[in-house]
Structure 1
Amino acid sequence: MSDNNLLSRFKSDLDHYSLKQLRTISEEGVWSIGQMYDHLLVVAHEYLDNMETCTTLMEEQPLGKTPFGEQLFKNSGFPPIKVRLPDELNSTPNNSDSRENLLTRMDQLIQRWSHWETKVDSINPNHKVEHGGFGWLNAKEWYKLVEMHFRHHLRQKDELERKVSNYS
């Protein structure tokens, strides 16, 4: 599945959820589908902000990725595990968006992401911004991380859909 198709799939899947399905929290410590979407959108824009920062840097960064970051990009994806960030980094995602608002936000992300598709390869690969867990990433890596993060949440999306499938 191409990267743009993955984001478009997430967008089109929004049409299949009722407001109750989007907002239902099935158990404590588990997000709703709407919260998962909010998380994906917020993080994707953070990654694209960092990618854009790479375009403004003047100095090259000789440092690289952490061992985990190297493995992540070598595998072109996150390991198939649930990740829990430390509490200070783990703010609860918004659970009040309507389907229409999430659709609009997905459209904005897809537009922004697509805008950079043909430009990202021309950005100096030695202009990097540090990620707290993955090390120093260049614009192309930040761009790719958006798709990798969406793909990482496919299993969670499937689980959440099963939990709310009886709601309308």
Structure 2
Amino acid sequence: MSDLKVIETYKSYLQNYSLEQLRYITDEGVWSIGQMYDHLILVAHEYLDNVETCSAAEEEQKLGKTEFGEHLYKIGGFPPIKIKLPDELNTPPSNSDSKENLMSRLDQVMQRLRQWESKVDSINPNYKVKHEGFGWLNAREWYDLVSMHFSHHLRQKCELEQKLVFLELTSLMN
């Protein structure tokens, strides 16, 4: 799924959630759907900031990706596993955005992706920024990571939606 198409998918699903569903936290330590959206948007901007950093670099980086980073790009996405970040990187995302604000923020991500789409391949592939888990990535790799990350979280979105449906069915039966 292309980067813009996967984000369009998230936008279409966003239309269907009530504010209560968007902010509902099913279990301690589990994000709400809204928090997942917030996380995706923040990380997409971080990745696109790194595309921009690569574009302005003046020094080539000879180091490459980690073994996991190589695997990630070889298979074209994240493996179907839950990835636990270290506690210092795992601050819960915001759970206060409205649907309208999330939609606007998704549009901003799409706008930035469109801005870089035609330029990303002209950036020297040896201009890189380090990712703590994947190693040294160039502009194209950071750009591609945006849609890989959105696609990875589709599984989480489905799990959260299933919990919402179960909760709603349970409350109807009581």
| 1:156 match | 156
Give 1:46 shift: 0.3
| 2:137 match | 137
Are residue 89 (structure 1) and residue 82 (structure 2) matched? no
Are residue 11 (structure 1) and residue 11 (structure 2) matched? yes
Q: Which runs of 5+ in 1 are unaligned?
A: none
Q: Give the percent of matched residue pairs that are identical in Structure 1 and Structure 2.
A: 67
| 1:69 match | 69
User: Normalising to structure 2: TM-score of the pair?
Assistant: 0.94
CA distance in 2, matches of 1:86, 1:128: 23
Aligned residues: 167
| 2:2 match | 2
CA deviation string 1:32-56 (max 9, x = no partner): 0000000000000000001100011
CA distance in 2, matches of 1:39, 1:76: 21
Q: Which runs of 5+ in 2 are unaligned?
A: 170-174
| 2:107 match | 107
Give 1:121 shift: 0.6
| 2:41 match | 41
Moved over 4 A (4+): none
CA distance in 1, matches of 2:52, 2:149: 18
CA distance in 2, matches of 1:106, 1:14: 10
CA distance in 2, matches of 1:157, 1:47: 21
Give 1:115 shift: 1.2
Give 1:164 shift: 1.5
